[in-house]
């Protein structure tokens, strides 16, 4: 019991001796947010002393601007300096110290550097080769590409840690980040950006972050999942399809892939080892080969893939072909009917023309020779011939030879 008491008493004596001589330990300095600071973002710098419950004054020193901020803190051992909107002038190195009422101050703390980032350029493109789904031990390369900047510096980042995975200078507008052999530490979500340094070492102009790509590691779990599709045949457009994935144990999360591209993930129900993915009103865009993987804890470390199942629409092309065939048949029959009508009208016109050409005029009255004037008659006399219709008779004479002849008599009266 005496030994711990003696140790505490000696520590208190050493502290009092240090205070009496004006020698204090330096404070610690930190900031929030702890990662990079964007232009216009709020920033807080913390200065902590080892002496609580003491009346202290804290000072913050900005080396680049040779500027000092002072704040009083009573009965606390932390000074908080807040910058509401970070600007280029706030970038640089900072240190702090604490002082007592007797004007005895501690040494200056270690430095912290504040870099202000302004996002002004368009985001780069990012891709993975050969694929985002890779086998354990396979080599993968991540490509980041921008346009128009030959001296930019690219940074590749990984999800969760916010630490830089690699930094390289750009060449010909594209940079490569090779991952020689992918293992569990290489799987994850990646993104990149590029920056151009300004005259200030603590101020940079950068692009927005690229889209995110994931590197998913397969083959870590060697038990192959089972997959089936319902219905498996005669799938017509706008019908509903269900794909079921089943694993070797309960409480798994399944990932469904189409043509080696991730489509959706789904966790099994409590105490179940399978789950179902529903595709409503399938179209030609849903066609392809589907596989599934499962993972247990790490969402980027998967099992080996299942056997593939193919979703194929069986009658997607028969309906349009039948429609076009019906239309073509109808048009053909219509053209044929018009041709027959035109041909019949042409024949009728031709026949009528030939008949009129061959027709001869008919006389209803027997022709008589023209009447010659009597040479003895005076030329001034005029003779009139009057036909008496009542005197016209048609008589039928029958001879012994049964030959019938028709005779017409005309009576001429001279007036």
Which residues of the chain register pLDDT less than 50? 1, 16-17, 20-21, 161, 319, 362-387, 389-415
Considering the entire predicted model, what is its pTM?
A: 0.60
pLDDT of residue 4: 54
pLDDT of residue 346: 77
Q: How far apart are CA 16 and CA 243, in angstroms?
A: 75
pLDDT of residue 288: 92
Domains of the chain: 24-117 (2.60.40.10), 119-217 (2.60.40.10), 222-311 (2.60.40.10)
pLDDT of residue 61: 94
Closest CA to 295 of 332, 323, 255, 347: 255
pLDDT of residue 385: 46
pLDDT of residue 34: 82
Is-cis flag, bond preceding 46, omega within 30?
A: no
pLDDT of residue 268: 92
pLDDT of residue 320: 56
């Amino acid at each position: 019991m005496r030994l711990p008491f003696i140790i505490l008493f000696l520590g208190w004596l050493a502290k009092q001796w240090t205070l009496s001589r004006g020698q204090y330990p330096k404070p610690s300095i930190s900031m929030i947010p702890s990662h990079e600071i964007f232009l216009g973002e709020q920033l807080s710098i913390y200065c902590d002393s080892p002496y609580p419950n003491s009346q202290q004054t804290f000072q913050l020193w900005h080396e680049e601007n040779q500027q000092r901020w002072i704040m009083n803190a009573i009965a606390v051992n932390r000074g908080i300096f807040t910058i509401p909107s970070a600007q280029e002038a706030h970038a640089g190195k900072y240190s702090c110290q604490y002082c007592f009422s007797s004007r005895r101050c501690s040494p200056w703390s270690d430095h912290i550097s504040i870099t202000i980032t302004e996002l002004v350029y368009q985001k780069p493109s990012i891709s993975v080769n050969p694929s985002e789904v890779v086998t354990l031990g396979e080599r993968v390369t991540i490509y980041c590409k921008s346009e128009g900047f030959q001296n930019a510096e690219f940074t590749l980042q990984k999800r969760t840690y916010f630490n830089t995975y690699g930094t390289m200078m750009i060449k010909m507008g594209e940079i490569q980040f090779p991952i020689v052999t992918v293992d569990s530490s290489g799987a994850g979500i990646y993104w990149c950006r590029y920056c151009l340094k300004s005259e200030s070492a603590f101020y940079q102009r950068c692009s927005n972050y690229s889209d995110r790509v994931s590197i998913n590691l397969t083959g870590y779990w060697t038990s192959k999942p089972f997959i089936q599709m319902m219905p498996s045949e005669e799938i017509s457009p706008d019908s509903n399809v269900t794909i079921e994935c089943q694993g070797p144990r309960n409480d798994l999360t399944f990932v469904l892939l189409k043509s080696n591209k991730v489509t959706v993930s789904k966790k099994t129900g409590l105490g179940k080892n399978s789950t179902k993915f529903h595709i409503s009103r399938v179209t030609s865009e849903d066609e392809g080969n589907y596989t599934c993987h499962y993972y247990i804890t790490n969402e980027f470390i998967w099992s080996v893939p299942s056997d593939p199942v193919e979703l194929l629409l069986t009658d997607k092309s028969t309906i349009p072909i039948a429609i076009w065939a019906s239309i073509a048949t109808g048009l053909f029959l219509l053209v044929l009917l018009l041709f027959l009508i035109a041909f019949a009208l042409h024949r009728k016109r031709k026949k009528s023309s030939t008949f009129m050409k061959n027709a001869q005029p008919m006389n209803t009255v027997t022709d008589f020779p023209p009447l010659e004037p009597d040479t003895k008659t005076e030329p001034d006399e005029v003779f009139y011939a009057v036909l008496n219709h009542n005197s016209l008779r048609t008589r039928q004479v029958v001879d012994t030879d049964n030959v019938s002849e028709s005779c017409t008599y005309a009576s001429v009266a001279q007036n």
